[in-house]
Amino acid sequence: MAQTQLAVSSTAPQSVFTSRILRTTAAVIGSSALVALCSHLSVPLVFTPVPLTLQNFAVLLVGLLLEPAAAFAALALYLLEGAAGLPVFSPFGAPGIAHLFGPNGGYLLSYPFAAAFIGYLRRNLRPSFSAAIFAAAAGSLIVYAVGASWFSILSGLPWSAVLKMTVWPFLPGDALKVIAAGAIATGLLKLRNRNRQSGLASGTAI
Say if residue 3's pLDDT is above 60: no
Contact 53, 38 (CB under 8 A): yes
> Looking at residue 198, what is its pLDDT?
74
Give the pLDDT confidence score for residue 196 in this predicted structure. 76
pLDDT of residue 201: 61
- Cα gap 59→114, rounded to integer Å: 8
**Sign for the pseudo-dihedral over CA of 118, 122, 124, 125:** positive
pLDDT in tens, 97-106: 999 999 999 9
Q: What is the mean pLDDT of residues 104-123?
A: 97
Residues 67-103 pLDDT 10s: 999 999 999 999 999 999 999 999 988 889 999 999 9
pLDDT at 143: 98
66, 105, 137, 202 from 58: Cα distances, Å: 12, 17, 13, 34
Helices (H), the chain: 2-39, 55-65, 68-83, 105-124, 129-155, 159-166, 171-205
Beta bridge partners of 151: none
The string of pLDDT tens digits covering residues 35-53 is: 999 999 999 999 999 999 9
Residue pair 135/129 in contact (Cβ under 8 Å)? The answer is no
Check pLDDT > 60 for residue 8: no
Element spanning 43, H or E: strand 42-45
Pairwise CA distance, residues 47 & 119, whole Å: 33
CATH architecture of the domain 2-205 equals Orthogonal Bundle (1.10)
Q: Is 49 helix (H, G, I), strand (E, B) or coil?
A: strand
Sequence spans of domains, the chain: 2-205
Q: What is the pLDDT of residues 12-34, one digit of tens each?
A: 677 778 889 999 999 999 999 99
Per-residue confidence at 136, pLDDT binned at 50, 70, 90?
A: very high
Distance from C-alpha of 59 to C-alpha of 109, rounded to nearest angstrom: 12
- Rounded Cα distance, 167 and 47, in Å: 12
Residue 27: the pLDDT is 97
User: What's the half-sphere exposure (Cβ side, CA atoms, 13 Å) at 51?
Assistant: 19
User: Which amino acid makes up residue 78?
Assistant: Y
Mean pLDDT of all residues in the chain? Answer: 91
Residue 206: per-residue pLDDT: 43
pLDDT of residue 199: 65
pLDDT bucket at 10, cuts 50 / 70 / 90: low
Task: Give the pLDDT confidence of 159-189 residue by residue, as tens digits.
Answer: 999 999 999 999 999 999 999 999 999 999 9
Question: Residue 149: CB partners within 8 Å, gap ≥ 6?
Answer: 106
Continuous segment of H or E residues that includes residue 52:
strand 48-53
DSSP three-state, residue 85: coil
Residue 141, pLDDT > 50, answer yes
